[in-house]
Amino acid sequence: MNLLKIRKQRPHIPAIQNLCNSNQFVKLVSAQQTDIPAIQNSCDSNQFVKLVSILFLFIPFFLSAQNISIIPLPKSIVKTNGQFQLNSNTVIGMNSNSLLPQAYYLQKELKKTTGMVIEVDPNEVKALIDLQLVKGDELPGSYTLKIESNKIIITSSSHEGIFYGLVSLLQMLKTQPVGAIVNIPNCEISDAPRFQWRGFMLDESRHFFGKEKVKQLLDWMAFYKLNKFHWHLTDVDGWRIEIKKYPKLTSIGGIGNKTDTMAEAKYYTQADIKEVVAYAAERFITVIPEIDMPGHATAANRAYPEYSGGSINKYPNFTFDPANEKTYQFLADILKETNSLFPAGMIHLGGDEVALGIQAWAGKPAIMDLMAKNRFTSLADLEHYFFRRMADTVIGMNDKILCWDEAAETDLPADKTIVFWWRQNVPSQLQLALQKKYQVVLCPRLPLYFDFVQDKSQVSGRRWIGTFNSVSSVYNFPYKEFPADQLQSGQILGIQANIWTELVGSEKRLDFMIFPRLAALSEAAWTDSALKDETSFNERLRADFVLYDKAGIYYFNPLNPAEHPEAIDFAPKIIKPSVKEKHHKGGHKSKLRERHLKSSHTKGVSKQHRSKKSGKQKKHTAK
């Protein structure tokens, strides 16, 4: 056997295994055992000498491969000998001027990472980092990254794929020592995403964080190859998007938040939104606005009470009025202005938890007349009528309708509808959506609601009947319980994590709840399940902790929970059980569980985890 040749090649495990008469070698490599006598006992002496000799040759390979730290894990990484030396003489080139935006993005990020000013030259002949757009029918986002001692080549059939190749290169750079020369290990990476929808949702109605924080989140989404930013901009507690035709939506509806009803009005101007959308597009992230209806309309109804569907106890002005014809024009005007700001080609209409306030419609003469005219037999029929009309407005703008899973019961055009399945305790809604041929995004609150606590020691945040959303549970989603044929079908677009901000009022706590679960989400969404390795992920995550520290991110460390104490904005209110409750402990638990099972976005926070300032029930909280 030519050992010098082996040194230059990728290890070939089957060939080495043939040197032994048992499976012990495979176990050795898997477990990284170093018990030489035990190994020797499983091989005869001549074979053992050869085996140990080869293993010592491979040790440098295993050690250097560990330097390639990329999240999400690529489809294939082949480590080769040598390294590329990045320095100020490096030139970024391309075979198409259409790649200039990606080249300038890399140039800017390299300056931030290394301090080097790298030249961009469209003349590909000079390129040491060469971006190559090629013809092909590969999955969107696919790319190859080849690092050789004298050149780096990133190849894809799409601009998006070129961008993700750049991201992988930048991740490799960020784990290397910075100096006048940065050494990047030679390798060849072939990669493609598992899902095309890799989403994250931020609720800014409950608490507002602002443009710069959103941009920072978009940076990290790009770093982790996430590509859909769902922006929840309207709800009970505040209206956060400027609509010029209806200025009171922000001047009045923008006042307050979940914990301070008199807080000054905060919202995004249309100029702000255009800036954020452009910033996201540069990173191949689509921004999808949510204008919630017909429920969760309280902030809008504060500003324009003439469109309110009425009030009931605990849910004042929660819905829009379905019997007022002017309501539909009001909302159509809002959707048209919204559509002009977001080129996503889709608008999320909410459609969730209408049942919480729907009884306000009961008995109103105009509503009874509308129901009689259309031969509706229930208020739910009226709800579906309302949603279909607003969906028609969205379709008329050539946009797709996005909605929470309650709206799957409405008859909507299958080719224009995307349903977000959030109620993990109602699997029938997922099946209904699939039966109706709707496309689906999986975002079940277990484990993809990031407002849930992530460790048993944490006290501020939500749980679902005692269950919390650990980094591990996010990483391992979707679970084996999901049929493979469904996951591989075109109907399931991908997965998304959501964070509702009832108990998140500061950037510090926002970061603590998002990181590092965002990294786990990225690998769950991108990497094929057969390639996922949680031990490997945790090792790569350690490298990212260094990056979080540099960026000033206050994160939860699942590998050492005591390192960063829980960031708490609103102290939980602990309610001790009464004497009666103690005597009826079993019945109390049963009723609590029943409330959880019935709960929706708004209900799901157990009493002992409610904020002192916000004792009201929460939206999307028990989702």
Banded model confidence at residue 584, pLDDT cuts 50, 70, 90: very low
pLDDT, tens digit (0-9, with 9 covering 90-100), for 255-276 = 999 999 999 999 999 999 999 9
Report the C-alpha gap between 91 and 98 in whole angstroms: 17
Q: Exposed, middle or buried, 504 (CB in 10 Å: 0-12/13-18/19+)?
A: buried
Answer with the residue of higher pLDDT: 391 or 49.
Answer: 391
Report the C-alpha gap between 438 and 476 in whole angstroms: 25
Residue 576 has pLDDT above 70, yes or no: no
Residue 400 has pLDDT above 70, yes or no: yes
pLDDT computed for residue 77 by the predictor: 97
- Among 96, 110, 102, 121, which Cα is nearest to 160's? 102
pLDDT computed for residue 25 by the predictor: 37
pTM of the model: 0.84
Question: Is CATH 3.40.50.720 the right assignment for the domain spanning 76-191?
Answer: no
pLDDT, tens digit (0-9, with 9 covering 90-100), for 148-163 = 999 999 999 999 999 9
pLDDT, tens digit (0-9, with 9 covering 90-100), for 416-464 = 999 999 999 999 999 999 999 999 999 999 999 999 999 999 999 999 9
Angle of helix 379-396 relative to helix 325-341, nearest 10 degrees? 40
Residue 168 has pLDDT above 70, yes or no: yes
The mean pLDDT of 295-311, rounded to a whole number, is: 98
pLDDT computed for residue 164 by the predictor: 98
pLDDT computed for residue 15 by the predictor: 41
Banded model confidence at residue 137, pLDDT cuts 50, 70, 90: confident
Q: For the chain, first and last CA: distance in Å?
A: 61
Q: What is the mean pLDDT of the chain?
A: 86
pLDDT computed for residue 620 by the predictor: 47
Report the C-alpha gap between 297 and 300 in whole angstroms: 5
Any idea which residues carry the catalytic annotation? 235, 296, 353
pLDDT computed for residue 623 by the predictor: 46
Contact residues for 247 (Cβ-Cβ < 8 A; gap 6+): none
Cβ proximity of 79 and 185 under 8 Å: yes
Answer with the residue of higher pLDDT: 590 or 363.
Answer: 363
Percentage above 90 pLDDT, the chain: 76
Domain boundaries, the chain: 3-65, 76-191, 197-551
- Amino acid identity at 76: S
Q: What is the DSSP string of 116-151?
A: ---EE-S-GGG-SEEEEE----PPTT-EEEEEETTE
pLDDT computed for residue 572 by the predictor: 72
φ, ψ for residue 473, nearest 5 deg: -65, -35
pLDDT computed for residue 423 by the predictor: 96
Residue 11 has pLDDT above 90, yes or no: no
The mean pLDDT of 505-529, rounded to a whole number, is: 98
Coil, helix or strand for 555?
A: coil
Fold of 197-551: TIM Barrel (3.20.20)
Residue 215 has pLDDT above 80, yes or no: yes
Handedness of CA 13, 18, 19, 20 (dihedral sign): positive
Sheet holding 91-94, edge to edge: 76-86, 182-191, 143-148, 151-156, 129-133, 91-94, 119-120
**In angstroms, how far is CA 374 from the centroid of its own chain?**
41
